[in-house]
Amino acid sequence: MKQLALVFLGGGTGSIMRFLLGKWLNNFSTGIPYGTFLANVLGSLLIGLILGYFAKSEHLSQETTLLLATGFCGGFTTFSTFAYESHMFLRSGDFITFAAYGLTSVIIGFAAVFLGMWLVKFI
């Protein structure tokens, strides 16, 4: 039960942060969902840092990992919103933005995870 509460708390906090970031940065007049993009990249970097640190030192407890990685990062990042926004680009016929947004999100997301895990080596 404690594990569920930690995931719930972290996920709720991450979701609130993603909502605020989206309200601040998503500009649908330009059609570019910068808030979603930034949430996914920052969440990828953060999970790389968290899990990289845990793997390196094992100083993070399983509870802390559940709170931060599973809960917060899971609530903060959003594949479903990314997929919906990509669908909307396709639906409107904006194939260039669809391709750029999709490829950039995936490539930079992976790079952010690897960067986070690499940065932990210096801590």
Q: Identify the three-state secondary structure at position 36.
A: helix
pLDDT tens digits along 55-102? 888 778 889 999 999 999 999 999 999 999 999 999 999 999 999 999
Q: Which pLDDT score is estimated for 57?
A: 83
In this prediction the pTM is 0.90
- The token pair that represents 87 in the structure block: 């669908």
H helices of the chain, where? Answer: 2-25, 34-57, 62-65, 74-76, 79-91, 95-119
Q: Which pLDDT score is estimated for 45?
A: 97
Element (DSSP H or E) covering residue 33? strand 32-33
77 labeled part of a ligand binding site: yes
Every domain of the chain and the residues it spans: 2-122
pLDDT tens digits along 20-47? 999 999 876 677 899 999 999 999 999 9
Q: Which pLDDT score is estimated for 69?
A: 94
Contact (CB, 8 A) for 61 and 3: no
Confidence of residue 118 (pLDDT cuts 50, 70, 90): very high
Buried b or exposed e, range 12-27, using 16+ CB within 10 angstroms: ebbbebbeebbeeebe
Q: Which pLDDT score is estimated for 30?
A: 73
Q: Which pLDDT score is estimated for 95?
A: 96
74 labeled part of a ligand binding site: yes
